[in-house]
Amino acid sequence: MLALVRHGETDWNSAGRLQGHSDIPLNKLGRTQANDAGARLSAEDWDLLVSSPLRRAVETAEIIGSYVGLDISHTVPGLIERDFRDLEGTVLLGKERAEIDELLVACEPEAEVAMRSIEALQQLVRENAGRRMIVVAHGTLIRVTMGLLQGEPHAHVLNCETIELEPELLMGYESETAVR
């Protein structure tokens, strides 16, 4: 089983800023959220802890690891958040949906984010068959990955929310390029 965990809150999250690849640290609430997630996850046994390389995810994983008795085994570049490019740091709150959608066209496409995430997660499962993993990543990445795997839109993922993902669902997914 994989537990996908969104990182804790940052100051940019609380301000409604797009952070994508920007390397923003957790704030005080984010560290509290990570401690709460660690306490929840400590009720089960885990074999592996991995993270996106961005420090908000790494810090969340380190805090969770202190509860579950694991160090981060490695960071996975394929789990980095969507690249919002020139929009990073922008506040979109209060804008109309159509205007937001138009702005987001210039960003890394959600389908590409989902595919690189699925490929990275499939590689983790292949390399660690039968191991129970905690994977700390990012909200948009988790949301679009789960949406693609489940075949329907997935809801917004809250800071330090945990989404359980069965390896069979993940490994059963074949991209269009893999089918060709």
Active site residue 154: no
- What share of residues in the chain are helix, strand, coil (percent, to 5)? 50, 15, 40
116 is known to lie in a ligand binding site? no
Cα distance between residue 180 and residue 174, in whole Å: 10
161 is in an annotated binding site: no
User: Exactly one of 59, 62, 81, 108 is catalytic; which is it?
Assistant: 81
**Residue 10, marked binder:** yes
Annotated binding residue 162: no
Point out the catalytic residue in the list 7, 59, 88, 138.
7
The reply, when asked if residue 11 is annotated as ligand binding, is yes
Structure tokens at 173: 């997914």
48 DSSP assignment = E
Residue whose pair of structure tokens reads 């929009």 in the numeric block? 87
152 marked as binding residue: no
Q: Confirm whether 81 is a catalytic residue.
A: yes
Binding annotation: 6-13, 56
Binding annotation for substrate: 6-13, 56
Active site residues: 7, 81
